[in-house]
Amino acid sequence: MQRLSEATTQNDRPAVALAGLCYDGQSSFMPGAAGAPDRIREAYYSDSTNQCCENGLDLADVDWFFDAGNRRPDPGGEWLAQIEGFASELLSRGMRTIFLGGDHSISYPLVRAHADSYPDLTILHLDAHADLYDTFAGSRYSNACPFARIMEENLARKLMQAGIRTLTPHQREQAARWDVEICEMRDRRGFKPPQSEEPLYLSLDLDVIDPAFAPGVSHPEPGGYTTREVLDIIQAIKAPIIGADIVEYNPLKDPTGITALVAVKLLKEIAAKMIEV
């Protein structure tokens, strides 16, 4: 992976930037996700694995994958604007983005930035939770609320959700209000990943995976996907992924580091998929 300062325009494929957001100021239950980007990077460069993707790409050797570093938004200040500005900076350089969270509240300002460049955006949201609360614990910007903010501002043409297994009556009402396409976990066999030429933003909360495979998350929810099933979803997408986030990894709950390795596996396959379309 090259440094962002070395980035040049790629004629035959999009450039992809990996960036970290060390922020958990809107965690509704257990902080710790602010430490995720550093731990995921550590796992990415670990001698225990390599940077090869399942399609044969070696991310260590490509000239289109760049490291944009980490930012630490001020939890008591203008964190929304700081996150949106960071994303807009990368997008202005013609790059596609993979952001490492951080709690799920970061998706709202990230999608705001991407929607400016891609007005016909579709979002695929993989999560145990719908994150459609109007407010949660008195906050409109909680990690339980980002997709309510996104949809009420018309930042996406379509929101698709899969892996959901904690819907409350309020969130069902919110989903109906915005015609959200939800495939609950119990109906997972009928889920079809996006097949479109429209730009796609992928938001991947690691708790979509069953805690047997990814225990290091703030909100573990039994009954989720296997790691392989999530990889299959990513690889089956037939749409141009122009941005993505991987969120809610909590290193404080991951003493063996296995969840960090899961995050690395996912980011490699997302990067590989980004340059296919």
Task: Give the pLDDT of residue 196.
Answer: 93
**Whose CA is closest to 132, among 87, 179, 99, 100?**
179
* Mean pLDDT across 129-143: 97
Q: Is 273 exposed, middle or buried (0-12, 13-18, 19+ CB in 10 A)?
A: buried
| Residues 207-227 pLDDT 10s | 999 999 999 999 999 999 999
Neighbours of 166 (CB within 10 A): 16
pTM: 0.96
**Where does the pLDDT of residue 276 fall: very low under 50, low under 70, confident under 90, or very high at 90 and above?**
confident
Q: What percent of the chain has pLDDT over 70?
A: 95
Check whether 194 has a pLDDT greater than 80.
yes
Task: Give the pLDDT of residue 229.
Answer: 98
* CATH fold label, 2-274: Arginase; Chain A (3.40.800)
Mean pLDDT of the chain, nearest integer: 95
Check whether 7 has a pLDDT greater than 60.
no
| Residues 28-68 pLDDT 10s | 999 999 999 999 999 999 999 999 999 999 999 999 999 99
Q: Any idea where the domains of the chain sit in the sequence?
A: 2-274
How far apart are the C-alpha atoms of 38 and 272, rounded to whole Å? 22
Check whether 69 has a pLDDT greater than 90.
yes
